[in-house]
Amino acid sequence: MTLEELEAFDPREATLDQVLATRARTTGNQVFLTHLPDNKRFTYAQIDDLTRRIGNGLHEAGIAPGAHVAVLMDNCSEQLLAIFGIMRSGRVAVPVNSAARGQLLVYLLTHADCRALIVEEALLPRFVEIADQTPLIGNTYVVRVATRSIENPQDVEQARARHRSDDFLVLLGAPPQPAHDAPVARFNDVGLLMYTSGTTGPSKAIMFSQAQFIYWGADVAVHHEYVPDDIAYICLPMFHGNALLGATMGSLMANAAVALAPRFSASRFWSDIRRSGATVFNGIGSVMSFLWALPPSEDDRHHRVNRCHLAPVPNFALEFEARYGVKIMSAYALTDYCLGAAYNTRSDRAKLGSAGTVRANVDLRIVDEEDLPVPFGMSGEIVMRHRVPWAASLGYYKAPEATLESRRNLWFHTGDRGWMDEDGYVWFRDRIKDSMRRRGENISAFEVEEVVRSHPAVVEAAAYPVRADTSEDEVAVTVIVRPGVQWSPEDLIAHCSRNLAYFMVPRYVEVVDSMPTTPSQKVEKYKLRANAEKDLGALWDRERAGIRIER
C-alpha cells in the first residue's frame, strides 16, 4: 500500500470481510500466519476459509448479529482466527487479557456485555470460578492448544465437569458458506472492543469500527514501510494493540506475513527470529532492555531483520542498531484513538528518539491547560484530530461522559505530555494520567485500589508507581488498616493475586494512619511516591519476603 492509496482511503470499502476475501482471491496461496511452536502455517486462503466457518458457526449457534464475544487466550493461531471470525461475521470481538482473573475478569466480561466466550482450555478454570457472576454468557467454546502443556490438568477436568461448554472445533466445522440470513458487517459497525488501562476510573473499552480496524493496518503498512516480502515476528500479546493492530494488521494490509510466538522470551528471541525468517519486529521498553542485556554473540547479525519498531526508544538506540544491524523505527499512537506520528527509516537519523513527524490524514498539536497551542519546543498535552470519517475510534463503550471529555474542543486529548521541535518531530515526555507501566503492561491505579480496598482489613488505599531496581515502574500501595483487625501484608498480596492480573499485584506495601490530601480530599500520591522512594527499604517488599506471583 502506498501513501497515495492511504490518502485516497474510502472507509465504505473497509471491512474485515472484504479484506480477507480479497486477499484469498488475489494471494490465496501465500502464507500469512506461521504458528512458531509447531511451525503450522496458514495461507491467506485458509485464513479466509477458517474465519468464515467460525462466523457461520456462531450464527448457527444463535448468537445474534452485533453480539459481543470475548476471547480469553494467550498467543496462538486459534486466538487470531477467533478474533477475525467474530469480526467478519458482523459480531464484536472482545480480546481479554489472559492474566485477568477474579473481580477483574468479572468486570471485563460483564462491562463488555459479552454473550459468548472463546477460552483457552488452560484458562477455563478461571472463568468457571466466576461464571455465576457473568449470566449473559450463554455459549462457551473451549480451545485445546496442542502445543501448550497444562500445569494442573485436574483443575481443567473439574472445570469442564462443572460448566457446560462446546469445543472450538464445533465452530471450525461449520460450513464455509454463510446462511441466507447471515449478517454482513458494514464499515461503520463496531467490530472490536479493546480494553485500555483505566486512569481515574475502571479500564475502558475502546470501540473500533470495521473501517478503523482496517485503516490502522493500512496506516502501519505505509508509515512503517511494510512490503509483501516482510515477515513480522510477534511475541507481544495479541489482546493488546501493538501486536493486533500494528504488526498483524500492518502485515495483512501489506500482503505480508506474521510469525507468532506464545510470548516474549529473551533466550528464545533470536533463534525464533532466525527460524521464522522475520524481517521486522515490534518491541517495548522492557523487551529491548532484556535483548540489550544478552551477552554479545557472533550471531548478533545473523538474521534477516532490517528494522524494528520500539516505544519508547531506549538511550542505547544507536548502539543497539550497530550491534544487531537493524534500523529503529518508532511512533506516537494511542489505542484509544489512532496513530498520530511515525518515525521510520526515511526519517532524520539525528531525530532518533522522537516519535517522528505527524502522519497522513491526522492533525496533531501541543496545547496548554486551556487547550491553546504552545510554541515549538514547549511542553504541553498532545492532542490529535483525524481527518477521515470512521478511521479513528468511536469512543469508549458505555462511557459517553469520558468520550465527550476526551474530545473536548473537537480534539482528542491524549493525557500525554510532549513537545514538537521546529522540524515537526514529536517528542514524548511523560504521562499526565494516573497510570503505571510495568513489563510493557499499562496498569490502572484505580483497579488496583478497588481490589485492595475489598480486603476486609483495609479502610483506604492508594496505588502509585515507584522506581526500584529496574528502569520500569513497580507497584506500591499505601493502606490504612481497620483498627483491631488481624491481617498481614502476605494475606493482602494473596488477596490481590486472586483478583488481579499478575503484573498488577503490588510489590510494596506501606501502612499509615492517614494520607496527605488536597482541600478537595484527593490523595496527593506524588507525596506518597516521594516519601516511598526516599527509603524503599522501609516498605514491606514481597520480593524480599520471597513471594512469587504466578501468571
Contacts of residue 548, Cβ cutoff 8 Å, sequence gap at least 6: none
Give the pLDDT score at 35.
98
Domain locations in the chain as residue ranges: 3-412, 438-541
What amino acid occupies position 492? L
Per-residue pLDDT reduced to its tens digit, 91-143: 999 999 998 999 999 999 999 999 999 999 999 999 999 999 999 999 999 99
Closest C-alpha among 211, 265, 270, 264 to residue 242: 264
What amino acid occupies position 174? A
Place of cell 501541543: 366
pLDDT at 64 > cutoff 70: yes
Per-state percent for the chain, helix, strand, coil, to nearest 5: 35, 25, 40
Equal fold, 3-412 vs 438-541? no
3-state secondary structure 353-383: CECCEECCCEEEEEECCCCCECCCCCCEEEE
What amino acid occupies position 38? D
What span, in angstroms and rounded, lies between the C-alpha atoms of 330 and 343? 5
Pairing outcome for strands 257-260 and 31-35: parallel
Element (DSSP H or E) covering residue 309 = strand 307-311
What separation in angstroms does the CA of 192 have from each of 91, 95, 138, 397?
A: 8, 8, 20, 11
Per-residue pLDDT reduced to its tens digit, 177-226: 888 888 889 999 999 999 986 545 578 999 999 999 999 999 999 999 99
Fold designation for 438-541: GMP Synthetase; Chain A, domain 3 (3.30.300)
112 neighbors 94 (Cβ within 8 angstroms): yes
| 183: its cell numbers | 449478517
What span, in angstroms and rounded, lies between the C-alpha atoms of 407 and 147? 45
Least confident of 239-248, 261-270, 463-472: 463-472
Q: What is the mean pLDDT of residues 262-279?
A: 96
Pure H helices in 173-228: 210-223
CATH class of the domain comprising 3-412? alpha beta
15 neighbors 210 (Cβ within 8 angstroms): yes
Q: What is the mean pLDDT of residues 77-90?
A: 98
Per-residue pLDDT reduced to its tens digit, 499-526: 999 999 999 999 999 988 755 567 888 8
| 428: its cell numbers | 514524548
Q: How far is CA 92 from the centre of its chain?
A: 17
Helix (H, G, I), strand (E, B) or coil at 252: helix
Closest C-alpha among 308, 374, 294, 378 to residue 345: 308
The rounded percent of the chain whose pLDDT value lies above 70 is 97
| 447: its cell numbers | 483497579
